[in-house]
Amino acid sequence: MRGLVQGVGFRPFVWRVANGAGLIGEVLNDAQGVIIRLCCEPPELAELLERLERDIPPLARIDTVETQPYTGNESWQDFSIVASGAGQIATGIVPDAAICTDCLADIKDPQNRRFGYGFTNCTNCGPRLSITRAIPYDRGTTSMASFEMCAACQAEYDDPSDRRFHAQPNACPTCGPKLTLVGSDGPVEGDPIALAAAAITAGKIVAIKGLGGFQLAVDAGNSEAVKLLRSRKCRPAKPLACMARDLAMVARYVSLDDVACDLLQSPQAPIVLARSKGQALAPEVAPNQNRLGFMLPNTPLHQLMFQYLDRPIVLTSGNLSDEPQVTDNAQALSKLASIADLWLTHDRDIVNRLDDSVVQIVDGTAQTMRRARGYAPAPHLLHPGFDAAPSVLAVGADLKNTFCLLQGCQAIVSQHMGDMQNPQTQRGFIENLKLYRQLYDFTPSLIAVDQHPDYFSTRRGREIAAQENLETSSVQHHHAHIAAVLADRGFAPDAKPVLGIVLDGLGKGGDETIWGGEFLLASFHSYERVAHIQPVALLGGEKANLQPWRNAVAHLWAAYGPEAIPDLLTEYGEIAALKSLQNKPLVTLAQMLERGINVPLASSTGRLFDAVAAMLGIGFETVQFEGQVATELQALAETCPNENGAYPIPIRTPIKWTALWDGILGDLEKSTDLNIIAARFHNSLAMVFTAMAFEITSKSNIKTVVLCGGVMQNALLLEKLHKGLGELGLETLSAREFPVNDGAISLGQAAILAARNCSVDRD
């Protein structure tokens, strides 16, 4: 059996089922999974396999089962677990998992020896990747190595009928990790958990050592505390995630459907974005957003804290802005000194940083936005056709980076690494890549990189290739976006082309421009750019990414010519944003544009959103992060779901936006409500993209449309596209297990290279 079958209590599970059925034989781990040897009749085998599938342990996953006659000549007396190297795992590791219900019962039971113990775990739950230094996976290669199990824990560990049989991080208050509460003057006496919770209730900021990194906690109902956190963390705008005690507490603040409830309670325990009910949490938690991100307590420590808390807490990554989350105790004390009032910390090291994963629900389906804790490094099973592929290492892109190891029909995508401009993130990338290669005994034959030559990831990929004497291939960014969805959704390496609509921020294009609003006919093997939105200058290059007004100027010039702003002012003198634009250095910008200095052309949908938002007076001057005003526009539009108006944009390539601007400026001049304009803008995009897709597909006999790129995180736009295209008889596909954003670029890169080098015959 292959899949997630090691380190998840699978062998004792097989042992129990086989014993229960009175079968004789043995079960053991090998390099590829679990081997079961049985002396039985075919119906008994069939029944065993059925039971194994049906009652599978919570963290296990069976991908494939192969059966064959056994030619060995052992004479078994009973059914036993064969210790292949003391329960070691030959390759791979499972993701960290939220505390299970049995362990939760243990820590809440005053009679239990783990009552109130914050590091309780078993084979069905607890830390994995976050504490693993190397394989073989056993206690000695994890950060539990320094804790020697007491007799009671050892007895559990050795007993195949115990839930903690071979649970490597097994621990109890006698032998395991210990909590401390530290203030600015050193350790604080008393119950660390109760005191930390009391401090949060009193409006203090507490740094908590979570599973994959330090987190910062404040009372989510206390405006002053949240404001203080924002100012100390230099994070003025980005929404903050919250944690609540249970589903009932989450449901007070956001609307939850069944999918959301299941996700919140799953072993992955991600942050789930859900529509706010407008209940009173501090507005500073997620300013100008209509969604809130909630997770449930995923560790025993967080569970215990909520015994003392009556409302949600903000729980955000413990870092200085732009740096990765701190994982080390000493660094937490120094780096977070200017932010936290108290530190709830402990002596079990975090080996691998794991951010909290983020999921949203679109059309009733979960869509991963950040794939990290709980999900990575679970292998993704590709179409079996990939079995013939060489092993490929793909290094991803520089924003929301992940890397991918593709081996046979398994794609192992790393946890979210982050944005590569930061040296610590770069170091994390290098260290994690080294670890993953060791964990999966992985040697690449080919290396895939982005076409952007200056990405850190691209340079690093080329360095590795040079050191190991391998070839690199560069993959076009938006082709990789589409291929990621195809790989996610199980397409064969030789699958026919689909139409991909890639709405994105920026990615190096296949020509000399930057792309981000693309219609590509694409298979894993190749792509053809059949339509795109009009390229518009990024005035000042990278500055345009964080100063929306620059995109407004560029778009108005592209639509109406170089005299646009004074001309428009005579016609639309009442529009505040136009007046503000007049005060910008338009002459200098015009000269830059004329001379081609730092004004690269980009067909970016992300920058179009920025331009529209700026004209509506949203984030006119600056934004703190890419996509900030796009989510605000989406939130505005979602306040009027019944608005059906749209601006009539001509269906031809490149798609030009003059009619869109005519409509928006006209509406602004008439003082139309901004939420109506925002809704009309979304409707217009959905209509023009749908119509364009219909025209292309009817000419090319393609019936499948892939929707991807960072802008597709806009659930409103994505739902409209799904609906519109579906009504025209087209099948729409989007990513599920992997993000639609750049977090899946590595998967797409790897799949493209693997498919191109598959040794199977193609027709």
Which positions lie near Fe ion, rule CB under 5 A? 504, 507, 742
Choose between 164 and 481: whose C-beta lies nearer to Fe ion. Answer: 481
- Total binding residues toward Zn ion, as defined by CB under 5 A: 10
Residue 461 binding result from Fe ion, Zn ion, none, given CB thresholds of 5 to 8 Å by partner type: none
By CB under 5 A, residue 231 contacts Zn ion: no
Choose between 107 and 636: whose C-beta lies nearer to Zn ion. Answer: 107
Q: Identify the residue among 91, 124, 410, 604 touching Zn ion (CB under 5 A).
A: 124
What is the DSSP code (8-state) at residue 129? G
Q: How many CA atoms lie within 13 A of 582 on its CB side?
A: 14
* 3-state per-residue secondary structure call for 194-232: HHHHHHHHCCCCEEEECCCCEEEEEECCCHHHHHHHHHH
Q: Identify the residue among 45, 62, 145, 175 touching Zn ion (CB under 5 A).
A: 175
Q: Which of 612, 624, 560, 616 is nearest to 717 (CA)?
A: 612
By CB under 5 A, residue 122 contacts Zn ion: yes
Shortest Å distance, C-beta 740 to Fe ion: 9
List the end-to-end C-alpha distance of the chain, in Å, as a whole number: 32
Shortest Å distance, C-beta 581 to Zn ion: 59
Sequence-distant (≥ 6) Cβ neighbours of residue 457 within 8 angstroms: 395, 396, 397, 398, 401, 403, 420, 429, 449, 450
Residue whose pair of structure tokens reads 């099948």 in the numeric block: 731
Shortest Å distance, C-beta 142 to Fe ion: 35
| Amino acid in position 574 | E
CA distances from 604 to 103, 212, 551 (A): 49, 34, 10
Choose between 303 and 605: whose C-beta lies nearer to Zn ion. Answer: 303
Choose between 26 and 504: whose C-beta lies nearer to Fe ion. Answer: 504
Rounded Cα distance between 189 and 184, Å, is 13
By CB under 5 A, residue 153 contacts Zn ion: yes
Query: What does the angle CA 401 – CA 95 – CA 301 come to, to the nearest 5 degrees?
Result: 105
Choose between 114 and 481: whose C-beta lies nearer to Fe ion. Answer: 481
Residue 174 binding result from Fe ion, Zn ion, none, given CB thresholds of 5 to 8 Å by partner type: Zn ion
* 3-state per-residue secondary structure call for 149-200: CCHHHHHHHHCCCCCCCCCCCCCCCCCCCCEEEEECCEECCCCHHHHHHHHH
Binding mask 81-100 for Zn ion (x = CB under 5 A): -------------------x
Choose between 100 and 503: whose C-beta lies nearer to Zn ion. Answer: 100
Shortest Å distance, C-beta 704 to Fe ion: 21
Choose between 33 and 300: whose C-beta lies nearer to Zn ion. Answer: 300
Q: Identify the residue among 103, 344, 409, 464 touching Zn ion (CB under 5 A).
A: 103
Choose between 239 and 517: whose C-beta lies nearer to Fe ion. Answer: 517
Exposure b/e, 384-416, CB count within 10 A at least 16 = b: ebbebbbbbbbbbbbbbbbbbbbbbbbbbbbbb
Shortest Å distance, C-beta 480 to Fe ion: 8
Stretch of 116-124, 238-246, 625-633, 754-762 lying at the interface with Zn ion (CB under 5 A): 116-124
Residue 742 binding result from Fe ion, Zn ion, none, given CB thresholds of 5 to 8 Å by partner type: Fe ion
CA distances from 37 to 11, 19, 20, 62 (A): 12, 13, 16, 17
Stretch of 170-178, 441-449, 455-463, 620-628 lying at the interface with Zn ion (CB under 5 A): 170-178
Rounded Cα distance between 751 and 368, Å, is 19
N residues, the chain:
763
Q: Identify the residue among 64, 67, 161, 174 touching Zn ion (CB under 5 A).
A: 174
The three-state secondary structure class of 611 is helix
346: which 2 tokens? 């402990």
Residue 314 binding result from Zn ion, Fe ion, none, given CB thresholds of 5 to 8 Å by partner type: none
Stretch of 103-111, 268-276, 497-505, 637-645 lying at the interface with Zn ion (CB under 5 A): 103-111
Choose between 497 and 507: whose C-beta lies nearer to Fe ion. Answer: 507
Q: Where are the beta strands (DSSP E) in 390-469?
A: 392-394, 404-407, 410-413, 446-450
Choose between 105 and 337: whose C-beta lies nearer to Zn ion. Answer: 105
401: which 2 tokens? 């980076």
Shortest Å distance, C-beta 147 to Zn ion: 8
Residue 610 binding result from Zn ion, Fe ion, none, given CB thresholds of 5 to 8 Å by partner type: none
By CB under 5 A, residue 104 contacts Zn ion: no
292: which 2 tokens? 């809130």
Q: Identify the residue among 59, 60, 172, 499 touching Zn ion (CB under 5 A).
A: 172
Stretch of 145-153, 281-289, 519-527, 613-621 lying at the interface with Zn ion (CB under 5 A): 145-153
The three-state secondary structure class of 707 is strand
Residue whose pair of structure tokens reads 């404040």 in the numeric block: 218
Choose between 210 and 396: whose C-beta lies nearer to Fe ion. Answer: 396
Asked if residues 602 and 535 have their Cβ atoms less than 8 Å apart, the reply is yes
Residue 430 binding result from Zn ion, Fe ion, none, given CB thresholds of 5 to 8 Å by partner type: none
Q: Which residues bind Zn ion (CB under 5 A)?
A: 100, 103, 122, 124-125, 150, 153, 172, 174-175
